[in-house]
Amino acid sequence: MKTSIFNKDDFVLLVGEGNFSFSVALLQHNLNIKLIASCYESSMSQEQKTATKNIKYLQNNGICVLFDVDATKLEECLALRSKLFDKIIFNFPHVGGKMRIEKNRELLKNFFVSSQKMIKENGQVLVTLCNGQGGTPMDNPKRRWDDSWKIVEMAAHGNFILTKIEPFSWQSFQDFVVTGYRSLEKQFHTADSLTHFFVKSEPPTIYNIVPSNKIDILKTLSVTACVHEKKSVAKALRSTKPKSKHDTLQYFVDIKQTRTIGGKGGDGEISFLRLWVNDRAGPDGGDGGSGGHVIFEAKKDVKDLRNVQSVIRAEDGEKGYTKDCFGKNAEHNVVKVPIGTIVRDLNNKILADLDQDGMMFIAARGGAGGHGNSFFKSDTQQSPEISEYGAIGEDLRYVLEIRSMAHVGLIGLPNAGKSTLLRAISRARPKVAAYPFTTLRPHIGMIQYDDYEQVAVADMPGLIEDSHKNKGLGVTFLKHAERCAALIFILDITVDEPWKALEVLKYEISQFNEKLNDRPQIVVANKMDLPNAEVNLQSLKKYINLPVIPISAKLGTNISTLLKEIRILYDNIKTNISEENDNDLTQ
């Protein structure tokens, strides 16, 4: 179901609204339609806070909310009896339970019979079902027809015929949360759900007994499959798990300065052995144990430098004991870092490049243990009363950097919509607000594709003019951009002369590193849902030679096209890296 199916001044009835989240999501699109939302329950309990909040929001915006409306007996509702609707929408109908197929068929049958009296002659009835329930060729994987809800047959009881089937557009209704039976929190498996469109059938005559336009779903599927095979572009997957409404407190750390202190060696012991037959048996003080090292180890299960402390200490060695007992050596402090971590000193000199799993770098060596007095015994000195202190461990400072942060980086001026876009294409939850520099540190989101590939996308702080001179977040931001394999320029299409924003972005990254402009790029025009966006888009296309992808990150418009382009970009990067590695091997 897409928002484009609604016409201006459409009279729409929503049936079976569990928590009214779909009604709220539809209202927020400002489609200039007249809306009535109804539910089967007679009232909402105090525990159903989400539903109560949505009902209050609808009523404050002048929407009629009706309770105790039976979808199978719409004509019995007094508030609906004299009305005719352009569209009646029933999302995920059910009677409860998993194996009540007959009862669900009966529900659909009676709903269509009741809707026949409430719909206009050219109106539509829209029913959204989980994938596999409808019993149509669009279900994938298909069920046996007798094991489905037989929606086409049930609609025929109300003289409705199926005209088309579309995937439900979750991007357009991101706040829609499907509740379970009797508005329970347990949800259905709604991935790949389908919306079925029905219209009233005409009385049969000799002219219309054979339909002029047949729905050839199988042909449509085969054409789609051929195009998919030809382009060989994987499809981005939508997460079925609900996403938290709160902003995340986690962010990506790709550079960290740290101080490493090796452990101190244990002190040697001064001791003399006294036996019952010999009270002067000689020195027996043991040596102290060695202090621990601080070691950086590259590991594939670590993604960033968030867990690297500002000061890292290793344990001290144990002191020596009497009777020639040596102290215990301290355990090394092994700090895990991501593969591809570059270790530099404060003079920016590269000391190590940990580019393989298991590679180690000793950042600070522990001090050696001191000798006890037994070590200093000689022919001329039979009873030495001296020992050594343990050596102090190294105290060094380093700067750790990750060579590669993400496959794709989002670059734009402040408030261009970068964080909103990352929320729309992944499960990341960066903070979104209406003031500049909301994002101060990078956030990483993962895009899942149906061939099990994952593409990492980084939301980076806003770039401003003269950033290469360290204004704003300055050089720190530009270093983040340097660690992305490809760049996506996000432009606010509602501003005057948006092409100038692109010129600023390209100029700033070129001043920091000329090679950044040679990396693969995509230009995205965001906020297409706002006024004057279309006019500015046409002007933008005249001034730049690059292809522009118009989107609305807030409403999810054209996001699927962007995800497809990101995957093509990612595949090209992988191919280039593979070719470079092959060339290195041949040489």
pLDDT at 126: 92
Determine how β-strand 294-299 pairs with β-strand 360-364. Answer: antiparallel
pLDDT at 228: 37
Q: How many residues does the chain have?
A: 587
Q: Which helix (H) or strand (E) holds 522?
A: strand 521-526
pLDDT at 579: 72
The total of other beta-carbon atoms located within 10 Å of residue 19's CB is: 23
Domains and CATH numbers, the chain: 3-231 (3.40.50.150), 253-404 (2.70.210.12), 406-586 (3.40.50.300)
Task: Please list, in sequence order, all residues whose beta carbon lies within 8 angstroms of the beta carbon of residue 270, skipping any fewer than 6 positions away.
Answer: 283, 285, 372, 373, 385, 386, 387
Query: 3-state class of 571 per DSSP?
Result: helix
Distance CA 164, CA 213 (A): 11
Phi/psi of residue 299, each to 5°?
Answer: -135, 140
Residue with token string 């490493």? 260
Give DSSP secondary structure letters for 137-159.
TT-SSPPPGGGS--HHHHHHTTT
Distance CA 410, CA 564 (A): 16
pLDDT at 398: 92
Task: Please list, in sequence order, all residues whose beta carbon lies within 8 angstroms of the beta carbon of residue 433, skipping any fewer than 6 positions away.
Answer: none
Q: Locate 329 and state its tokens.
A: 């050596």
pLDDT at 263: 92
C-alpha pair distances (Å), 396 with each of 92, 258, 298: 62, 9, 19
Task: Please list, in sequence order, all residues whose beta carbon lies within 8 angstroms of the beta carbon of residue 45, skipping any fewer than 6 positions away.
Answer: none
pLDDT mean for each 10 residues of the chain (587 residues): 82 88 86 88 74 88 89 88 90 73 88 90 90 84 78 89 87 76 55 88 61 44 36 71 62 82 91 78 88 91 84 91 88 89 86 86 91 85 86 91 79 83 78 60 80 82 67 62 83 86 84 80 87 84 84 85 87 77 62
Q: Which helix (H) or strand (E) holds 13?
A: strand 11-15
End-to-end CA distance of the chain: 55
Can you give the pTM of this predicted structure?
A: 0.48
pLDDT at 362: 92
Q: Which of 492, 418, 494, 431 is nearest to 457 (CA)?
A: 418
